Amino acid sequence: MAGEKPSVELCKGVNGLDKVVLRDARGSSAEVYLFGGHVTSWRTDHREELLFVSNKAIFKPPKAIRGGIPICFPQFSSHGNLEQHGFARNKFWSIDTDPPPFPSDSSSKTFVDLILKPTDDDFKIWPHSYEFRLRVALGLGGDLMLTSRIRNTNADGKPFSFTFAYHTYFSVSDISELRVEGLETLDYLDNLKERERFTEQGDAITFESGVDKIYLSTPTKIAIIDHEKKRTFVLRKDGLPDAVVWNPWDRKAKAMPDFGDDEYKHMLCVEAAAIEKPITLKPGEEWKGRLELSAVPSSYCSGQLDPRKVLQG
Ligand code: BG6
């Protein structure tokens, strides 16, 4: 619906949970739940959904929503003593009405700023004071941009360390038809093999069975090429050296109560992350991690798109 006015609207989502709906002038949109600071929808100007959310997703705190873009903080997966993927995805965030200014690169007018700060109870689980500011923005052309700014506000002079991921679930036509470019020849930790370190062989990443890998020191651009949909997702990331690739495949899918048995065929998680080297912040220091997602209508097969050009361009 081109010609609409860009808008940012707070309304009720599933089970009466608060969500913010962003719409740009060309009709692209995104939805963000305050529960989890969780992006659950990103649509093209043709209203086509680009993110996967399970039909069995339980929109009921404290269980994180299955799909979209959960935020993993301050711990990725089970790499530490906290709950799986940390607590940020199970907390209620607030709208940040007065965020510190962004550098001039943020030209988008369609955005929302959220903030997460610890409560007294949270302090018992992770004894640190922090301000986590998340900006979700729609860029020109419908790109989705997420910027996280995490500041150590400890008054006791203590630093803290954390790991982090934007756990993005992409909606895809058929997992067995996908190619991921940009990770070939890199080292990875295989979560299915006790995090043993391997080097990726071969040309591009394709999928024939479950995968749960943490690629290390990855380039800033990664492409997911969906032949059938004639679409390529391009991830651009900054401050996030690692990239997790996850698909549970059939057996794990069946064991997940909030995930349909066959849904693994239509999703892939590629997660921009900082895992291998945790981020350490001294009091007063701030870390920034940025993810920009574009969906390019094209097809590798049709010859319209050379993924290598996408990655270099
Ligand atoms: C991925 C992890 O990021 O998230 C997997 O690498 C994990 O090991 C998956 O199974 C889903 O995690 P959760 O906690 O959302 O079920």
Ligand 1 pocket member 85 (CB < 6 A): yes
Question: Could you say which of 38, 85, 128, 167 is catalytic?
Answer: 167
Check whether 310 has a pLDDT greater than 70.
no
Pick the atom of ligand 1 nearest to 214's CA: 6
- Give mean pLDDT, residues 21-48: 97
CB atoms within 10 A of CB 130: 20
Check whether 304 has a pLDDT greater than 60.
no
Check whether 105 has a pLDDT greater than 60.
no
Burial of 155 (0-12, 13-18, 19+ CB in 10 A): exposed
Q: Which residues contact 267 (CB under 8 A, 6 or more apart)?
A: 52, 67, 169, 170, 171, 172, 175, 247
| Closest C-alpha residue for ligand 1 atom 14 | 84
For a mutational test of ligand 1's pocket, the pick from 191, 214, 245, 256, i.e. the residue with the most ligand atoms closer than 8 A to its C-beta, is 191
Active site residue 167: yes
Sign of CA dihedral 43, 12, 64, 97: positive
CB atoms within 10 A of CB 128: 20
Span from the CA of 254 to the centroid of ligand 1 (angstroms): 14
Per-residue confidence (pLDDT) for residue 302, from 0 to 100: 41
Instruction: Identify the band that residue 220 occupies on the pLDDT scale cut at 50, 70 and 90.
Output: very high
Span from the CA of 77 to the centroid of ligand 1 (angstroms): 6
pLDDT digits (tens, 9 = 90+) for 168-204: 999 999 999 999 999 999 999 999 999 999 999 988 8
The token pair that represents 245 in the structure block: 């690739």
Task: Identify the residue whose tokens are 């990770």.
Answer: 183
Instruction: Identify the band that residue 303 occupies on the pLDDT scale cut at 50, 70 and 90.
Output: very low
pLDDT digits (tens, 9 = 90+) for 227-261: 999 999 999 999 999 999 999 999 999 999 999 99
Question: How many angstroms from the chain centroid is the CA of residue 93?
Answer: 16
User: 245-272 burial, b if ≥16 CB within 10 A, otherwise e?
Assistant: bbbbbeeebeeeebbbeebbbbbbbbbb
